[in-house]
Amino acid sequence: MRIHHLNCISTCPLGGRLMDGRSDGILERGSLTCHCLLVETADSLVLVDTGMGLRDVADPRGRLSGFFLMLVSPDFREEMTAVRQIERMGFDPRDVRHILLTHLDFDHAGGLDDFPHATVHMMGAERDYAEQQKTWLDRQRFRPQQWNTRGQWRTYPGGTGGPWMGFDCVRDLEGLPPELLMVPLPGHTHGHAGVALRHAAGWHLLAGDAYFHEHEMDLRNPSCTPGLRFYQWMMEKDRDARLGNQERLRELLRGHRDEVTVFCSHDVAEFERLAGRPAGVPATPPAH
Ligand SMILES: [Zn+2]
């Protein structure tokens, strides 16, 4: 299995340095990634999360909420969508047969419509809750406008696959090799999950929005920027579960740092380290 790192449209949140901890000031906008993965398996391509897609770029106001457009002002460059980066890498987007979603927030599910034939895997609790459109904030973050692939969705009831490094997990994802697992990490949303991928030298765990800043995974002195602390508080569905999972992820790193690389969706430094290129640059054809 080969794993490629794609940033599928950066967001540029208000608060600058208060959010990302890297920008020069607090009056300019910050920069966060939408860290997705393209996985080459023996017989197909698998996309993990989709960022924002072509239709979001073409019609932001028809697809996304005014509230989040104001707050995080995505950098809508078509070349950064998953489908365009996959083409640029020399692959055929129609070979993307499966998509794994950490959750259904607009900045993770926006590219689904660009892969109309892919089977989409997620936790059942995520679909069930997002479809309810219960609160005002739910209606801003979960956008049914992005869900035209609903007929292709496969959901899983819970972590019934037995333990993975101390976490429950979902194994035997329909049509996918055993090297791919979902690891429920509820809190940010009710059905939020990480995705674990086994490669030649160990495991990758894309922890999605279980945390937002790399310093939250600091084992001695975990910390977060005030802006991202506020954002996570605003978006959380279950605080105890969310903070408990962050502690469990640090515990995982304490015991298994040599075997597992843990990273989240939105941290620029983590993305650039793993991708080996600046976050604003699309992926190029892989060397063979
Ligand atoms: Zn997110």
Tell how far the Cα of 208 is from the centroid of ligand 1, in angstroms: 7
Ranges of each domain in the chain: 2-275
Q: What's the pLDDT at 161?
A: 78
Q: Which of 22-31, 42-51, 178-187, 241-250 has the lowest mean pLDDT?
A: 22-31
Q: What's the pLDDT at 151?
A: 97
Residue 145: CB atoms within 10 A of its CB come to 15
C-alpha closest to that of 116 among 96, 92, 145: 96
C-alpha closest to that of 266 among 44, 4, 7, 58: 7
Tell how far the Cα of 161 is from the centroid of ligand 1, in angstroms: 26
Judged against a pLDDT cut of 80, whether residue 288 lies above it is answered with no
Q: Tell me the per-residue pLDDT of 142-179, one tens digit each, with 9 for 90 and over.
A: 999 999 999 999 999 986 778 999 999 999 999 999 99
CATH class as words, domain 2-275: alpha beta
Q: What's the pLDDT at 162?
A: 83
Tell how far the Cα of 220 is from the centroid of ligand 1, in angstroms: 26
Average per-residue pLDDT for the chain: 96
Q: Tell me the per-residue pLDDT of 205-256, one tens digit each, with 9 for 90 and over.
A: 999 999 999 999 999 999 999 999 999 999 999 999 999 999 999 999 999 9
The model's pTM is 0.97
Tell how far the Cα of 236 is from the centroid of ligand 1, in angstroms: 11
Tell how far the Cα of 230 is from the centroid of ligand 1, in angstroms: 14
Tell how far the Cα of 108 is from the centroid of ligand 1, in angstroms: 6
Tell how far the Cα of 162 is from the centroid of ligand 1, in angstroms: 27
Tell how far the Cα of 35 is from the centroid of ligand 1, in angstroms: 9
Tell how far the Cα of 62 is from the centroid of ligand 1, in angstroms: 20
**CA dist., res. 144 & res. 13, Å (int):** 23
Tell how far the Cα of 288 is from the centroid of ligand 1, in angstroms: 32
Residue 112: CB atoms within 10 A of its CB come to 26
Tell how far the Cα of 287 is from the centroid of ligand 1, in angstroms: 30
Tell how far the Cα of 107 is from the centroid of ligand 1, in angstroms: 6
Q: What's the pLDDT at 158?
A: 83
Q: 202-206 and 45-48 as β-strands: parallel, antiparallel, unpaired? A: unpaired
Q: What's the pLDDT at 61?
A: 98
Q: What's the pLDDT at 286?
A: 86
Tell how far the Cα of 186 is from the centroid of ligand 1, in angstroms: 13
Q: What's the pLDDT at 120?
A: 98
Q: What's the pLDDT at 108?
A: 98
Judged against a pLDDT cut of 90, whether residue 10 lies above it is answered with yes
Q: Tell me the per-residue pLDDT of 228-237, one tens digit each, with 9 for 90 and over.
A: 999 999 999 9
Tell how far the Cα of 253 is from the centroid of ligand 1, in angstroms: 22
E strands, the chain, in order: 2-7, 35-40, 45-48, 96-100, 119-123, 153-156, 163-164, 167-168, 180-184, 193-199, 202-206, 260-263
**CA dist 24 → 81, 170, 219, 227, 267 (Å):** 27, 42, 27, 15, 16
Q: Tell me the per-residue pLDDT of 85-137, one tens digit each, with 9 for 90 and over.
A: 999 999 999 999 999 999 999 999 999 999 999 999 999 999 999 999 999 99
Percent of the chain at pLDDT > 90 equals 94
Tell how far the Cα of 266 is from the centroid of ligand 1, in angstroms: 7
C-alpha closest to that of 183 among 96, 240, 106, 248: 248
Tell how far the Cα of 234 is from the centroid of ligand 1, in angstroms: 12
Q: What's the pLDDT at 149?
A: 97
